Amino acid sequence: MSPKPGTLTEQEIWNQPQAWRWVLGEVPGRLQKVKDALTGGEVVFCGCGSALDVALCCAAAFRAHGILARAETSGEIALFDDPVRPWEGRSLVAVSRSGETSETIWALKRAREQGGRTLAITCEAESTLAREAGDLLLLDGCAERSVVTTKSVTGMILAGHVAAQALSGGPQPRTPFESLPQHCQRILETASRTVEQAWREGFSQCAFLGSGLLWGVASEARLKMQEMALMPSESFPVLEFRHGPMAQAGEGMLVVAMISESAREHEVAVLKQLAGFGATIFAVTEEEDSELRSVTPFIVELNSGLPERVRQPLFLPPAQLLALHAARSRGLNPDSPPNLSRAVILQ
């Protein structure tokens, strides 16, 4: 009997609590060897695809801890000059699961040649990126065999949070995050039921919304739906969706909303509008309330009790499960997405 389509991807999704425990156990010690690459100036994270979403999430985490940081796509750094911001005195953190992404290798080389400090975050010790970087934060405990990235993404994001906490001079790096793996396990179990209830035939498009710390999360959730389920999908900051894209809202749209604590009132108001136009809302939030329940019954509660900046990685597992379920419902195999490979290498 052949395995169920998406079995490998499903295993990687459910292995995330284990990968997170590995990150919390190993990364603080490994950070001690690379901290110099992250101090003394602006930190620029770069990546492609899911690694770009990791970069967005890590840069947001660094800023939340008062560290000057931003994220860019590797291709922009590799192929275009930036005379306003020379690399000398800045750090480039190049993110790539495989360590073989062409544009990311090019970006790292360019930053290094122009006097910037370079740090690679990858899951592959023998990769080109690992060899070329001035410093290496190896996350081999987050390596995965699937084409579509899941646990490597959340593992790298969590490593970014641990690094930001350590660099900010706060409590011991592990302390704020030690409960995340158990929360992840519980959320996967509860989200599975909500995903099955929310997804239905007839959706023609998806919109993924998230703001602030959750903008990179929404972008990554959108990419999972595109890669696994081949579903037309877009991602926006929550309020930005009202400025044009809302024209598409209707009965055929699934809106997946990552709800923040900082802007909750405004974000729920937008969701009410979209529901009024006939869109189906799937919400991920720390806690539900009567306002949100009036918008949708499809709610995944995190119930982590953690500060807002710490809980960022918890928002992705429900979205990964949603994409997996959507793919299977559409007769697709997420383990073999068309036109994709584990590493994007350009000649």
Q: What radius of gyration, in Å, describes the C-alpha atoms of the chain?
A: 19
Is the domain spanning 180-329 CATH 3.40.50.10490? The answer is yes
The residue assigned the tokens 């930190």 is: 43
What does the domain layout of the chain look like in residue ranges? 7-177, 180-329
Distance separating alpha carbons of residues 295 and 273, to the nearest angstrom: 9
Arithmetic mean of pLDDT, 156-165: 95
Express as a percent the part of the chain with pLDDT over 70: 95
Under the banding of pLDDT at 50, 70 and 90, the label for residue 35 is: confident
Query: How far is residue 178 from each of residues 14, 23, 47, 115, measured CA to CA in Å?
Result: 18, 10, 27, 37
Q: What is the CATH number of domain 7-177?
A: 3.40.50.10490
Query: Which amino acid would we find at residue 110?
Result: R
> For position 97, what pLDDT does the model report?
96
Sheet containing 205-210: order of strands: 233-236, 205-210, 253-258, 280-285, 299-301
Predicted pLDDT of residue 124 = 96
pLDDT number for residue 81? 82
Q: Which amino acid is at 275?
A: A
The pLDDT value given to residue 341: 64
Helix or strand or coil: residue 139? coil
Instruction: Output the CA–CA distances (angstroms, integers) from residue 159 to 45, 46, 57, 175, 242, in the order listed.
Output: 13, 15, 11, 13, 34
Task: Please state, in angstroms and rounded to a whole number, the distance separating the CA atoms of residues 169 and 173.
Answer: 9
Put simply, whether the predicted model's pTM sits higher than 0.75 gets the answer yes
CA angle 258, 344, 69 (to 5 degrees): 50
CATH topology match: 7-177 vs 180-329? yes
Mean pLDDT of 261-270: 96
pLDDT digits (tens, 9 = 90+) for 167-223: 987 555 456 799 999 999 999 999 999 999 999 878 999 999 999 999 999 999 999
Mean pLDDT of 14-34: 96
Whether 84 shows a pLDDT value over 70: the answer reads no
The per-residue pLDDT of the chain, averaged, comes to: 93
Q: What is the mean pLDDT of residues 271-300?
A: 96
pLDDT of res. 202: 80
The arithmetic mean of pLDDT across residues 140-148, rounded, is: 95
